[in-house]
Chain A
Amino acid sequence: DVKVTQSSRYLVKRTGEKVFLECVQDMDHENMFWYRQDPGLGLRLIYFSYDVKMKEKGDIPEGYSVSREKKERFSLILESASTNQTSMYLCASSLDLGNEQYFGPGTRLTVT
């Protein structure tokens, strides 16, 4: 079974802090994704990566950056957290772009 893990289930940070969200997958998938999920807005793609050190912007990349130094690990970085970044963050991976995605359990981030 594919396993996608995220570093924290719950996180509380202050406005202006730098925040790192980590995601690890154990199935040697090429592709990894970061989404945020908000009530009434659904899942929205922030960034994705199709290979080590390769990244592409999703639909809402503003205020975020990503890092993929190793195939199994994909990090989401909030350079200066703001209250409008309070959300559920979900990481996913897939074998090929466009294939079914396997999701991690999510990190609920609260920025105060």
Chain B
Amino acid sequence: GQNIDQPTEMTATEGAIVQINCTYQTSGFNGLFWYQQHAGEAPTFLSYNVLDGLEEKGRFSSFLSRSKGYSYLLLKELQMKDSASYLCAVRRSGGYQKVTFGIGTKLQVIP
């Protein structure tokens, strides 16, 4: 089975740092994606973690702990344009390595 949990909504202030958590339970795990989706638009790829640890990419970083079934996306120096939904997605191992998406976290950045 597959279960992915993220907070539904978050609010943060422009210029601040925000951490969006994702926990998952899966029968087979092969990696975790983060996507960004602005309202009315398609999701776009942000990051992919396979190994434990933190991967930094500009203002965005993504962390993975496979043993804890836990990931987070860290957004630094928040900008108004970061207001969007952030989707956590798990890649399963075996077979067709299907990717399952979480419901997404809607982040609102306020002045």
Residue of B nearest to A96 (CB): B97
A34 within 8 A of B: no
Q: Which residues of B contact A105 (CB under 8 A)?
A: 41-42
- Residues facing A in B24-49 (CB within 8 A) are 30-31, 33, 41-45, 48
Q: Which residues of B contact A56 (CB under 8 A)?
A: 96
Q: Which residues of B contact A59 (CB under 8 A)?
A: 100
> Can you name 16 A-B residue pairings with CB atoms under 8 Å?
A43-B43, A43-B89, A44-B101, A48-B98, A56-B96, A58-B98, A90-B43, A97-B97, A97-B98, A98-B97, A98-B99, A100-B33, A103-B43, A103-B44, A105-B42, A106-B42
Interchain pairs with CB closer than 8 A, number: 49
Q: Give the bracket for the number of chain B residues in contact with chain A.
A: 20 to 34
How many residues on A have C-beta within 8 angstroms of the other chain's C-beta atoms?
23
